[in-house]
Amino acid sequence: MTKEIISTPLAPHAIGAYSQAVKVDNTVYLSGQIPLDPETMQVVDGDISLQIRRVFDNLLAVVTAAGGDFSNIVKLNVYLTDLSNFPLLNEIMAEYFEQPYPARAAVGVAALPKGVAVEMDGVMVLSNEYY
């Protein structure tokens, strides 16, 4: 088993005791991303659509640093403080992903770090030998 820590300045640095991602063999475990601007480490201003896009952009930066792209994501977990934003999440996700889409969970939660409305994490596989 080989283990590698993935880190990029193009995504927000960890705000706790965790890594942006950990690669074990050909699987990459992506830590939760919230809508922080990686340069300022501040929550992006604007409505929920801007926050969702910022989270996808942050995830993409980490995915790219690990050597993949969104087609390599096999599982995506989404946490929303307001499930009425679920249709908007689907609409924006379709801008970032192509079919076949990854497996996904979307969970309503009471609160998220820094008071944001959305957080996402996931699992990525860098080999397509199984699909």
Across the chain, what does the average pLDDT equal?
A: 95
| C-alpha torsion sign, points 32, 34, 36, 41 | negative
**Tokens standing for residue 15:** 């705000």
- Tell me the pLDDT band of 131, cut-offs 50, 70 and 90: very low
Question: For residue 131, is it within any domain?
Answer: no
Domain of residue 36: give its range: 3-125
**What's the token pair of residue 23?**
């690669």
* 93 phi-psi bin (left φ>0, alpha ψ -120 to 50, beta other): alpha
C-alpha of 80 from chain center: 13
Q: Are the C-beta atoms of residues 65 and 92 closer than 8 Å to each other?
A: no
Is 130 inside any structural domain?
A: no
Assign 94 a pLDDT band (cuts: 50, 70, 90).
Answer: very high
- Write the CATH number for 114: 3.30.1330.40
Q: Is residue 52 part of a domain?
A: yes
pLDDT tens sequence across 38-81:
999 999 999 999 999 999 999 999 999 999 999 999 999 999 99
pLDDT of residue 129: 52
Name the domain count of the chain.
1
Residue 120's φ and ψ, nearest 5 degrees, are -140, 145
Sign of CA dihedral 70, 61, 23, 68: positive
Domain assignment present for 73:
yes
Per-residue model confidence (pLDDT) at position 128: 56
